[in-house]
Structure 1
Amino acid sequence: MDNQRHVGRECRTVSNLIKRKLDNMFYKKFGEGFTGIHSWIIAFIYNNQNKEIFQKDVEEEFSIRRSTATNILQLMEKNELIVRKSVEYDARLKKLELTEKAIKVHKLVGEEIESIEGQVVKGLTEEELETFFILIDKIKKNL
């Protein structure tokens, strides 16, 4: 067996650890049925409140298929996180809007993410963080 460390494997391991920590937090705070993608979609809509956001925008932003987006958004509607509202200029289109519940969730999630980010960078110097971001940007550009 090859004992050499691989960048891809290490990135995946760290990603999985962060995802597991977030999912655990989501489960404790919001119960079953709330996932990371829900929080990302809420943040996307929240950060674009000055625009009309439609399902196709979610599909493009998160590189997901139409059927996947439909399932996620239907569950978010069922859980009273979003509502779909008609637009005056095209009866076929339904814009996505956050509910008050989703806005509260967004604020709680933001606080939790900051806490987890603090754990992630604990013990790292500013110089180490700067080096990390330089390296990760190079890796992303390579891909």
Structure 2
Amino acid sequence: MQDIYLHNTDLSFNIKKLDNSIQRKILSIFDNREFADCSLQNMWITDYLFHMEIQGKTTFQKDIEAEFSINRATASKMLSLMEEKQLISRANSDKDGRLKALTLMPRGRELQGLCYFIRTEIEKQLTQSLSDEEVRVFKELIARAMGNMG
């Protein structure tokens, strides 16, 4: 009997491998002592808050939960830690006192600047051998696949 290894061609397996490669690349760039206490998720959240702010939108915890596909308890704990790290502040909403609006603090803005640099570098590397049309189709396929996952 001959041993034949078949490479795993499952989409989920290959997406996970790509995610691992992206994470390693990000961590190699992110190795920054000034933000040693910050997680990559902190970085992505500061970036999201920055872009919502530019659009003039108020952001709440429920928006973070939806954007990052995380549950309420995880979001609450993470945002509390981000407050302790002085990345964000939370204040009662003018429209609904039950909600707390999230605002970037100066340290959070610095972290977002690093996030912008990292995002730009990762995008360059990911798309260097793809045409604009291939990038467009890839993004569309990813969005559809994510929709399939619920």
TM-score bucket (shorter structure): 0.7 to 0.9
Gaps of 5+ in 2: none
Q: Which runs of 4+ in 1 moved over 6 A?
A: none
1:108 to 88, 100, 114: 114
2:60 equivalent to 1:48: no
How many pairs align? 140
Root-mean-square deviation (CA, aligned residues, Å) is 2.4
In structure 2, distance between residues paired with 1:16 and 1:110: 20
Following superposition, the deviation at residue 77 of structure 1 comes to 0.5
2:81 to 72, 75, 80: 75
Following superposition, the deviation at residue 140 of structure 1 comes to 4.8
In structure 2, distance between residues paired with 1:13 and 1:109: 22
Residue 48 of structure 1 aligns to a residue in which SS?
helix
Following superposition, the deviation at residue 18 of structure 1 comes to 0.4
Gaps of 5+ in 1: none
- For 1:52, give the aligned amino acid: T
In structure 1, distance between residues paired with 2:96 and 2:139: 43
In structure 2, distance between residues paired with 1:138 and 1:121: 15
Overall identity of the aligned pairs, in %: 28
Following superposition, the deviation at residue 74 of structure 1 comes to 0.9
2:41 to 37, 41, 46: 37
Q: TM-score, normalised by structure 1?
A: 0.80
- For 2:74, give the aligned amino acid: T
Contact 1:76 1:82 in 2 (8 A): yes
In the alignment, which residue of structure 1 is the partner of 2:92?
Answer: 86
In the alignment, which residue of structure 1 is the partner of 2:123?
Answer: 117
Following superposition, the deviation at residue 10 of structure 1 comes to 2.1
Q: TM-score, normalised by structure 2?
A: 0.77
In structure 2, distance between residues paired with 1:136 and 1:2: 31
